[in-house]
Amino acid sequence: MSYENILYEKSAGIARITFNRPKVLNALNRRTIEELRAALLEVRDDEAVRVLILTGAGEKAFVAGADISELAQQTPVNGKEFSLFGQGVFHLLETMGKPSICAINGFALGGGCELALACSIRIASKNARLGQPEVKLGILPGYGGSQRLPRLCGKGLAHELCLTGEMISAEEALRIGLVNHVYEAAELLPAAEALAKKIIANAPLAVKYAMEAIERGFEMPQEEGLFLEATLFGLACATEDMREGTSAFLEKRAPQFKGK
């Protein structure tokens, strides 16, 4: 599909999705989420893409939430479908088998915070503000915030953020584990690209299996998660990249991984 509300770029194994509605602080309307879904499928199916970076256009916001004018039109039936559709797109982001880095440059509120939560890694600029303010509008998080936030930061912190609707600073988000790192605004995208390059330097299948072990194992009892890890470890041992990686280490040279 043609993109109107996002910018999609790729270079040197890195794809970048930029939410491009700066006049409304990159708010998520239905069209934007549909475009995000199409771009994620493109990322998933493109073997040349190893890592995805998501960010927002302008200096004020990553994604400031749902488009309120569209949200206000929801009925009970439409509202459930609206929520399920967004959840499905964010689930695709979380399970597409490629790492995603969310570069939060400003507001990440409501659906924007939930989008960040679905990414593999989150980094933020010092001016970032994060939160789940849905209760201030008479609703609750609908794109996974009530589920991913307690899993990432704990139930108590999730209750506080979702029940007060208050925003927190980038530094507070770092303290509670909601983001991994905080940078000056000008350093944010270079830091995301540097992190992506570190991932790209590693064996593609090993990265994929490690993600799968974390994502799927997290929802399992530890004993089952350990069995999944052992199974995926065995699969990795069958790859050409494992032979190359171990040989390169023993021969004191840089490995040349092929994703096989």
Which residues are tagged catalytic?
114, 134
Q: Using DSSP, state whether 154 is helix, strand or coil.
A: coil
Do residues 85 and 31 touch, judged by C-beta distance below 8 A?
no
Range list of β-strands (E), 44-186: 51-56, 61-63, 100-104, 107-109, 121-125, 129-131, 168-169, 181-183
**Residue 8 neighbours by CB distance under 10 Å:** 16
152, two tokens: 């990432």
Residue 226's alpha-carbon distances to 96, 100, 120, 207, 237, in angstroms, are 22, 24, 20, 17, 16
Query: Is the distance from CB of 95 to CB of 144 less than 8 angstroms?
Result: no
Tell me, what DSSP letter sits at residue 186? G
Give just the sign of the alpha carbon dihedral 43, 149, 143, 104. negative
**What is the number of other CB atoms lying within 10 angstroms of the CB of residue 172?**
14
- Which pair of tokens denotes residue 73? 């039109």
Q: Give the separation between CA 111 and CA 9, rounded to whole angstroms.
A: 23
Terminal C-alpha separation, the chain: 31
* Beta bridge partners of residue 102, listed in sequence order: 54, 122
